[in-house]
């Protein structure tokens, strides 16, 4: 059976939020047979606006932060500015875990929600892990335990680069259309891993 053609009507649209003194542009409402709740407006020339493309463009312009990498224990808190070989290292990030925004483009109101997914950590020594949760380390823990969900222990002294790549999903909603866009954000931080040696000092 051939599907029925789209129905074109001319609805009345209220003024857009934040633009009370500007009348709405002329719209035609294109209702697809498979999505009767969707209303596709036209631009000033009368050409139907590609709502999904407009929403995707808005979603990609949403500012998503890079991972704010934290290392525990903090190597900056010791005079050598390093992590000893064999010491359990904890990794976590402190950026927001979700973001919400609303924008209006070409008269279309677009709602966006960005949700953080797993973070992949590379430690520079050939080790890569994917962390679905990341527990912050308390400043002082005795004896030092390994991280319960996102950590590593270096076995060789060297200067390493820790890289974190976080996957985000941006969900958008506009005029009855919805969609999702996966994106990634990456950040790196240097880390010096050294060896501590005990020295016996003869008393007087």
**Mean pLDDT within 33-59:** 76
pLDDT at 47: 78
**Mean pLDDT within 115-126:** 97
**Mean pLDDT within 24-34:** 54
pLDDT at 201: 53
Q: How much of the chain exceeds pLDDT 90, in percent?
A: 57
Confidence of residue 125 (pLDDT cuts 50, 70, 90): very high
**Mean pLDDT within 178-194:** 95
Of 175 and 43, which is predicted with more confidence? Answer: 175
**What global pTM score does this model have?**
0.74
pLDDT at 140: 76
**Cβ atoms of residues 162 and 121 within 8 Å:** yes
Nearest-angstrom CA–CA distance, 31 and 80? 67
Tell me: the pLDDT tens digits for 133-167?
A: 999 998 877 788 999 999 999 999 999 999 999 99
Which sign, positive or negative, has the C-alpha torsion 36, 40, 41, 42? negative
**Cβ atoms of residues 168 and 120 within 8 Å:** no
pLDDT at 133: 96
pLDDT at 7: 33
pLDDT at 197: 63
Residue from 167, 157, 142, 153 nearest 91 by CA: 153
Nearest-angstrom CA–CA distance, 23 and 33? 29
H or E stretch at 6: none
Domain-wise residue ranges, the chain? 1-49, 52-194
Residue from 191, 152, 185 nearest 170 by CA: 185
Nearest-angstrom CA–CA distance, 60 and 182? 10
**CATH superfamily label, 52-194:** Immunoglobulins (2.60.40.10)
Considering the chain, what is the average pLDDT of its residues?
A: 81
């Amino acid at each position: 059976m051939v599907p029925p053609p789209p129905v074109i009507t001319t609805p009345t649209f209220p003024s857009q939020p934040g633009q009370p003194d500007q009348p709405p542009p002329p719209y035609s409402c294109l209702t697809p047979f498979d999505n009767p709740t969707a209303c596709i407006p036209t631009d000033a020339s009368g050409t139907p606006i590609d709502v999904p493309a407009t929403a995707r463009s808005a979603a990609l312009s949403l500012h998503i932060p890079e991972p704010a990498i934290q290392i525990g224990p903090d190597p900056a808190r010791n005079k050598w500015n390093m992590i000893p070989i064999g010491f359990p290292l904890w990794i976590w990030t402190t950026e927001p875990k979700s973001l919400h925004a609303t924008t209006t483009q070409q008269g279309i109101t677009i709602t966006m929600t960005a949700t953080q997914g797993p973070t992949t950590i590379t430690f520079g020594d050939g080790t890569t892990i994917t962390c679905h949760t990341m527990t912050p380390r308390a400043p002082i823990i005795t004896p030092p335990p390994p991280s319960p969900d996102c950590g590593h222990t270096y076995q060789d002294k060297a200067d390493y680069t820790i890289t974190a790549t976080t996957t985000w999903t941006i969900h958008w909603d506009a005029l009855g259309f919805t969609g999702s866009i996966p994106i990634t954000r990456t950040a790196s931080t240097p880390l010096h891993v050294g060896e501590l040696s005990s020295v016996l000092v003869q008393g007087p």
